[in-house]
Amino acid sequence: MGYASVAVICLVLVGCSGSNGGFCADRQTLMTQLTPCASQGIVLNSLPLPRCQSVYNGSSCTSADRARLDAIGTCVNALGNCNAGDAGAFYDAFVSCSGSDADAGIEIGGVSASCTQALDAAADGGQ
């Protein structure tokens, strides 16, 4: 499976804590970081900040989920901007941060299914 198709699956979740405002704020930063790679198929599903924060702080995500999401946000924030010429390298670094394994059906390693599903639903326009 190519990195572009997997990126849409796993990038939906990155973004509700970490440094300077948490995973949801880090997710907003990631949207900017990914802009140069949009032409390569690496995109971030829309998840408005208030919706992200609602799920992140809601009952679907445990304190352990929030701690893991925060760690992912911090790691991804440190990646810098994606460059179209090395989109594959950026994607690989992102996967390393998130613990994603598309072949195993894991969007974000260490985050519960209920939290993952709630974030997915919110990104798809729910909540």
Kindly report, residue by residue over 60-97, the tens digit of the pLDDT.
Answer: 999 999 998 998 888 988 888 888 888 889 888 888 88
Average pLDDT of the chain?
Answer: 76
User: What one-character-per-residue DSSP string does 3-33 give?
Assistant: HHHHHHHHHTT--S-SSSS-HHHHHHHHHHH
CB neighbour list of residue 94: distance below 8 Å, 6 or more residues apart:
7, 10, 11, 14, 76, 79, 100
Q: How many domains does the chain have?
A: 1
Q: Given this model, what pLDDT does residue 28 score?
A: 83
With a cut of 50, list the residues of the chain below it in pLDDT. 1-20, 127
Whether pTM > 0.85 for this model: the answer is no
- The partner residues of 101 in beta bridges, in order of sequence, read 106
Q: Given this model, what pLDDT does residue 13 score?
A: 43
Range of the domain at 64: 3-123
Burial class (CB in 10 A: 0-12, 13-18, 19+), 103: exposed
Q: Given this model, what pLDDT does residue 29 score?
A: 85
